[in-house]
Amino acid sequence: MSDYLDAVIVEHNPTQKKIDRAVIWLHGLGASGHDFEPVVPQLGLASDMAVRFIFPHAPKRPVTVNGGMIMPAWYDILEMSLERKVDIAQIEESAQQIRDLISREIERGVKPEHIVIAGFSQGGAVAYHVHLATRSV
């Protein structure tokens, strides 16, 4: 298991019971884990729900289509075309970092079926990869 990604953690737990649900929510290119943090209070979660929201920050890396600018990115985008080329190794690296967060939640007592992986834009692509490429954590 690798070092965990730095992340914003928000716990919805009004009754202070043991956290038994988790949402790992990935931001888009150039953003940060803070982007979706304000959404939690807007979700209208039941007062008896105990949910940990994990909003990881993507590593900072050069993004080719943005002139090599270093920014938070789950992976490098090598070109913009219908056949779009991306750095598959970086997608897998990011997916493994998310699998590590999933494993940590399981170790904390959250059942795998109570863990949701969500993502926006580039984060959504990594979320799909985690879901579709992972047989078991």
Please report whether residue 78 resides in a domain: no
Domain housing 49 = 7-59+88-133
- Report pLDDT digits (tens) over 12-57: 998 999 999 999 999 999 999 999 999 999 999 999 999 999 999 9
- Report the domain count for the chain: 1
pTM (2 d.p.):
0.91
pLDDT digits (tens, 9 = 90+) for 50-109: 999 999 999 999 999 999 999 999 999 998 887 778 889 999 999 999 999 999 999 999
Count the helix, strand and coil residues of the chain and give each as a percent rounded to the nearest 5: 35, 25, 40
Q: Which domain CATH number covers 11?
A: 3.40.50.1820
Q: What are phi and psi of 134, to 5 degrees?
A: -100, 120
